[in-house]
Structures are given as C-alpha cells and as structure tokens.
Amino acid sequence: MFRLLASTGITSLLIFYCFGEVSAQDAQPSDDEVNTIAKQLYCPVCENVPLDVCGTKACAQWRDDISDKLADGWNEEQIKQYFSDRYGIRVLAHPPTQGFNMLFWLLPPVSIIIAWFLVLRTNHNIFRKKHMYKQSIAKQVRAEEYIGQLENDLEQWR
C-alpha cells in the first residue's frame, strides 16, 4: 500500500514538474506582444508618455505586469481594464465614452456640423440668386477673350 502511494505521488510530482515547466515556457510573451498593449497605455507619472517608451522604474514594473498577465492568459481588453481600474482612466489613450466624457466625443463633430450649417445658410443666396448671374457668365466669356488679347499685346510691348 505504502509503495503504491509513494510511486503515485512521485509520478504525479514528475508529471506536474514536466507539464508545469512546459506550460510556463510556452506562455512567456515576447517583448512585441507586451509593447502592443503597452503602447495603448500611458504613464501616470510622466504624463503623455506611452508605456512602451517610458524609461522609469514604475513603467518597467508595469510592463512586467503586462507580461505576467499575458502569460496568465489575460487578453488586451482585460489588461487595459485592470490598469484603468487600478490607476484611473488617465492611463488610457483617450477618455472612455461614458458620463461627462461623452462631451469629449460629441463636441467636435456637433460643432463642425453646426459651423458647416451656418456657413451654408449664410451663403444660401447662391441658389436663390444664381439665375441672376447667367448673364454675368456671358460677360465673363467676353472678358476672357479681352484678357487674352490684352496679355498678347502686353507681351509684344515687352
């Protein structure tokens, strides 16, 4: 009985050791995989510096955290959410689309649309008065001929 238990235990340990070590080697992410996520996060200490190029110890520790989490099977969104929950939304590349931050996303397109609308409205007389300028187009054609003749004359004079 004792021999059976001992051999089972030793066998289990060996299996665990072999497979456990192989699993750790397979899961170790490359620098590129870490940087793909680090590039989308921002250092809270040195503001406006992405994590993949930041040289501080804190940022190095963060990159190690990303590496560990990738090795544990976390995906990109989970890792970003983890850092955002822990250090605040300032670590993300842009504000999330919720709450007060909706203003950030809505204001530029709404303002641009309003501006274009106002400009179009101010110049709506283009459509109303366009017919008045049909005659002026004929005048312009005559003016073109006149200008062409004038240019030739000036060139000869020079």
Residues near 46 by beta carbon (within 8 Å), at least 6 away in sequence: 54, 56, 59
Site for another protein in 81-140 (CB under 8 A): 88-95, 100-101, 104, 107-108, 111-112, 115-116, 119, 123, 125-126, 129-130, 133, 136-137, 139-140
Residues near 48 by beta carbon (within 8 Å), at least 6 away in sequence: 42
Q: How is residue 143 written in tokens?
A: 């003016």
Task: Answer yes or no whether residue 1 interacts with another protein by CB under 8 A.
Answer: no
Site for another protein in 16-35 (CB under 8 A): 30-32, 35
Distance of closest approach, residue 9 Cβ to another protein, in angstroms = 39
Distance of closest approach, residue 93 Cβ to another protein, in angstroms = 4
Which residue, 22 or 106, has its beta carbon nearer to another protein? Answer: 106
Taking CA atoms, 26 is separated from 20, 68, 70, 73, 137, in Å, by 10, 13, 11, 11, 76
| 27: number of Cβ within 10 Å | 13
Which residue, 25 or 125, has its beta carbon nearer to another protein? Answer: 125
Q: How is residue 57 written in tokens?
A: 């110890």
> With 0-12 CB in 10 A as exposed, 13-18 as middle and 19+ as buried, what is 79?
buried
Which residue, 9 or 88, has its beta carbon nearer to another protein? Answer: 88
Residues that bind another protein (CB under 8 A): 30-32, 35, 42, 44, 46-50, 52-53, 55-57, 59-60, 88-95, 100-101, 104, 107-108, 111-112, 115-116, 119, 123, 125-126, 129-130, 133, 136-137, 139-140, 143-144, 147, 150-152, 154-155
